[in-house]
Structure 1
Amino acid sequence: MTRTVMVIPTYNEAQNLSDVVARVRTAAPDVDILVVDDSSPDGTGTIADELAAADPQVSVLHRGTKEGLGAAYIHGFRVALDAGYDLIGEMDADGSHQPEELPRLLAATADADLVIGSRWIPGGSVVNWPWPRVLLSRGGNLYTRLLLGIRVKDATAGFRIFRRSTLEAIGLESIQALGYVFQVELAYRTLRAGMRVTEVPIEFVERVRGDSKMTPEVARESLARITRWGLAERRAQLRGGRAAPAVGRDR
């Protein structure tokens, strides 16, 4: 039987965590949950401990400091790999990713090494986003595709499932990005490793409780890092080095 875990990073998600965990457990009863809490001052860690005490399929990883989304995921991925999970997923704790769509992502792992829940392929959508944020996300993803030479339509998406072999192949120990651009780096590394990426349409719903962690500073840092990667890739191609990955698969 395939063992699957969803890694859910948290920072000040006391208003949302219980609901998200309950919905995941209902939508995919065989899937375990690993909550990775970065010492939330609002008591999120205590709520996570209570959920774990009541359900053996829920566990909690407490981190001493807040080091960024990527750092939390990498720590959670390593714990999941050490525990022997076959499929390792990621999703937000704020309710933006709909747990009811998780079974479709799981089904797509049958012929993919990485499955991405995509907002920007046919059938995908966003709910309650102002138009400037839609333009920022669509524009950022277009910029990423053009600069890195990949066809993934939603490389910044955070609703994903990896095969353990994918995470082992891309080298978590050498990941550079610890913020939101971490998502782009993992998709890019997966394609560069010659692995199969499938996008599945999802509905992304803007959080209704709590504050978004996305800021203009985060967006600027992400674009700057993608620009550096893209320029380095082009220099490598001009020197006769590796070609940029060109194939992403939509589903």
Structure 2
Amino acid sequence: MNASTSHLVLIPSYNPGPRVCDTVRAARTQWAPVWVVVDGSTDGTAEGLQDMAANDPHLKVLVLPENGGKGAAVLHGLDLAIQQGFTHALTMDSDGQHPADLIPAFMAASQRAPGAMVLGKPVFDADAPALRVQGRKISNGWANLETLWAGIGDSLYGFRVYPIDPLRQVMRGQRWMRRFDFDPEAVVRLCWRGVRPINLPAPVKYLRADEGGVSHFNYLRDNTLLTWMHLRLMLGFLLRLPLLLLRRLNTHRSNTP
């Protein structure tokens, strides 16, 4: 187990089913501390997680009274983390889709480049839903356009390490990024602030219902949310385009012998 006073694992959780305990145990074997933000869950998992935390000083469980969305849960954890001196947070889903065994490698990459964000680039297995695999290519294309091709490997995969301070500033500066739009909007807006992406491959599992998989993704609702998000981001991109071009030119000059 790796332990850190600067980097923590932050797991937002909403009605994930019983697999959440396995997810948290797997994360704890790889890292300390691990924080879970229970986002108004009604499936009884909060109580089980609190029982785990009672016997583990490196596990903290934060319980929110109402469901506010993934981004809102992450922001709640970030606010408390920065108060306790943490500088970086690795976010991962609570339902067993993300590879806990890669936590040390992602944290090490972040520690080598603390000003960057370390993004998981998903490696799909044969059971991944084709519609979701193909659909995310659209979001990835928009995200790279909106950042002038800053190098975002995947805009939607939530297994990633963020520098806490710039992410909090981005989120506190506007009212969005509180639900399913959190992951893609976070990488775009952080790129706008000059936080460069580092992409690392990471497998992703899409678990069937009989395997304990739980999905809260709603194609109509969440794709509508993503469409509205990209419309806003494109407007922001056009307004920032001169600055982004100037930054790219300066970077090119500094890298030219």
Aligned-residue CA RMSD in angstroms? 2.1
| SS of 1:41 mapped into structure 2 | coil
Letter in 1 for 2:224: R
* Corresponding residue of 1:45: 46
Q: Distance in 2 between matches of 1:54 and 1:44?
A: 16
Per-residue Cα deviation, 1:113-139 (whole angstroms, up to 9, x for no partner): 2111111xxxx3345212111111122
Tell me, yes or no, if the aligned pair for 1:2 and 1:87 is still in contact at 8 Å.
no
Tell me the matched-pair count: 237
Q: Distance in 1 between matches of 2:164 and 2:244?
A: 25
* Corresponding residue of 1:93: 94
Tell me, yes or no, if the aligned pair for 2:78 and 2:164 is still in contact at 8 Å.
no
Per-residue Cα deviation, 1:162-189 (whole angstroms, up to 9, x for no partner): 2334435x43312422112211222122
Tell me, yes or no, if the aligned pair for 1:128 and 1:206 is still in contact at 8 Å.
yes
Identify unmatched segments of 5+ residues in structure 2.
252-257
TM-score by structure 1 length?
Answer: 0.86
Q: Distance in 1 between matches of 2:227 and 2:63?
A: 30
Tell me, yes or no, if the aligned pair for 1:147 and 1:227 is still in contact at 8 Å.
no
| SS of 2:243 mapped into structure 1 | coil
Alignment of 1:143 onto 2:146: no
Q: Distance in 2 between matches of 1:128 and 1:174?
A: 39
Q: Distance in 2 between matches of 1:189 and 1:3?
A: 23
Matches within 5 A, 1:19-34: 19-28=22-31, 31-34=32-35
Per-residue Cα deviation, 1:88-131 (whole angstroms, up to 9, x for no partner): 11100001001011111112111252111111xxxx33452121
* Corresponding residue of 1:222: 226
* Corresponding residue of 1:131: 130
Letter in 1 for 2:223: A
TM-score by structure 2 length?
Answer: 0.84
Q: CA deviation at 1:210?
A: 3.7
* Corresponding residue of 1:181: 181
- The percent identity for this pair of structures is 25
Q: Distance in 1 between matches of 2:108 and 2:196?
A: 15
* Corresponding residue of 1:111: 113
Alignment of 1:232 onto 2:232: no
Q: Distance in 2 between matches of 1:50 and 1:215?
A: 31
Bigger helix fraction? 2
| SS of 1:171 mapped into structure 2 | helix
Letter in 1 for 2:117: L
**4+ runs deviating over 2 angstroms:** 1-4, 124-127, 146-151, 163-168, 241-247
Tell me, yes or no, if the aligned pair for 1:127 and 1:205 is still in contact at 8 Å.
no
Q: Distance in 2 between matches of 1:159 and 1:132?
A: 20
Distance 1:227 1:126, change over 3 A: farther
* Corresponding residue of 1:12: 15
Q: Distance in 2 between matches of 1:127 and 1:61?
A: 35
* Corresponding residue of 2:85: 84
* Corresponding residue of 2:204: 204
Letter in 2 for 1:9: P
Tell me, yes or no, if the aligned pair for 1:114 and 1:166 is still in contact at 8 Å.
no
Identify unmatched segments of 5+ residues in structure 1.
none
